[in-house]
Amino acid sequence: MTTRSKRILVLSDIHGNLPALQSVLQDAGEVDAVWCLGDLVGYGPFPNECIDLIRQQKDLRCVMGNHDAGMLGRISLGMFNHDAQVSLKWMKTVITESNWDYLRKIPETDQVDKVTLVHGSPRNPIWEYILDPGIARDNFSSFATPLAMVGHTHLPIAYIYFEDLDETEWTLGRHGKPLKLEHRAILNPGSVGQPRDHDPRAAYAIFYPRRMSWEFHRVEYDIERVQAAIIQNGLPARHASRLTEGW
Ligand code: ZN
């Protein structure tokens, strides 16, 4: 008899997109834990439904994103572009007290075993975008664990650090191509609810902590359903149209 290897679902930037979150949870199948890297709200029309569903997940860890912090009033709305502000103001009017309370208690960073969890970057958990290997390299001194997992850019990507050279290489997330984690790394599963790599499918990752490997995944979801709900709730049309192209 073989024992099943421990599987952890890593997801980020759900942004109130319930159909995408449902597809990801179904596609991922049975997992031992769920790690969520922030931005449950913002842009999408189903903030409460997404938070409710996330809160039901087994062994959940969740860190705070900039949109979560914006809705809670911890960051000035002036820091967001106009359309994002419209969405955040709307969320404030619909969010349930229980979900507001839940978001309030989410930490900015978390650490599980060998992994640091954060939304933006280890040195600036809420705001910094890790968009290139140079920014990634400068972040390796800001966390002590072998791995960090981040979201925020909505791009599935792995930054691998070569300590002896003080250099970082990046590799774009390709569906179904497992990555063996033999060096320190900063890993981004991509965005569930608003992918920006011109692939409209929802993105997530599966992490195998025992064999130290990571898999990028993509899954289709009902884009039209979320687009209709964006329009119906009077949210910015751009947030609906961009989902078709995945940007
Ligand atoms: Zn985001």
Distance from residue 50's CA to the centre of ligand 1 (Å): 14
CA distance linking residue 150 with residue 154, whole number of Å = 10
Provide the pLDDT for residue 111: 97
Contact 18, 195 (CB under 8 A): no
The DSSP line for 94-152 is H--HHHHHHHHT--SEEEETTEEEESS-SSSTTT----SHHHHHHHGGG--SSEEE--S
Q: What is the pLDDT of residue 64?
A: 98
Q: What's the rounded Cα separation, in Å, for the pair 1 and 135? A: 45
- Report how far residue 209's alpha carbon sits from residue 212's, in angstroms, rounded to the nearest whole number: 5
Q: From ligand 1's centre to the CA of 59, what distance in Å?
A: 23
pLDDT beneath 70, residues of the chain = 1-3
Residue 245 — left, alpha, or beta (φ > 0 → left; ψ -120 to 50 → alpha)?
Answer: alpha
Q: In the prediction, which pLDDT does 177 show?
A: 80
Would you say 206 and 245 are in contact if contact means Cβ atoms under 8 Å apart?
no
Distance 188 CA to ligand 1 centre (A): 12
CB atoms near residue 23 (< 10 Å): 19
Q: How far apart are CA 226 and CA 191, in angstroms?
A: 15
Q: Please tell me the distance between residue 245's alpha carbon and the centre of ligand 1 in angstroms.
A: 17
pLDDT at 2: 53
**pLDDT of amino acid 169:** 96
How far, in Å, from the CA of 39 to the mean position of ligand 1? 5
Distance 142 CA to ligand 1 centre (A): 22
- 67 CA to middle of ligand 1, Å? 7
CB under 8 Å to 218, separation ≥6 — which residues?
175, 190, 199, 201, 202, 203
Q: What is the Å distance from ligand 1's center to 143 Cα?
A: 22
Q: What spacing in Å lies between the alpha carbon of 26 and ligand 1's midpoint?
A: 22
pTM confidence score = 0.96
242's enclosing H/E stretch is: helix 237-245
Find the 202 Cα to ligand 1 centroid distance in Å: 13
Q: What pLDDT score was predicted for residue 5?
A: 82
CA of 125 to the centre of ligand 1 (A): 13
Using a CB cutoff of 5 Å, list residues around ligand 1, an ion.
Answer: 13, 39
Distance 51 CA to ligand 1 centre (A): 15
- What pLDDT does residue 3 have? 60
Distance from C-alpha of 89 to C-alpha of 87, rounded to nearest angstrom: 5
Say how many Å lie between the CA of residue 4 and the centre of ligand 1: 33
156, 130 Cβ separation under 8 angstroms: no
The closest of 179, 159, 205 to 36, measured between CA atoms, is 205
Strands 147-149 and 184-188: parallel
| Residue 22: predicted pLDDT | 98
Distances in Å between the alpha carbon of 210 and those of 28, 115, 206, 221, 237? 18, 12, 12, 30, 44
Measured CA to CA, the distance from residue 137 to residue 141 in angstroms comes to 8
Query: Which amino acid does the sequence have at 133?
Result: P
Separation of CA 21 and ligand 1 centre (Å): 14
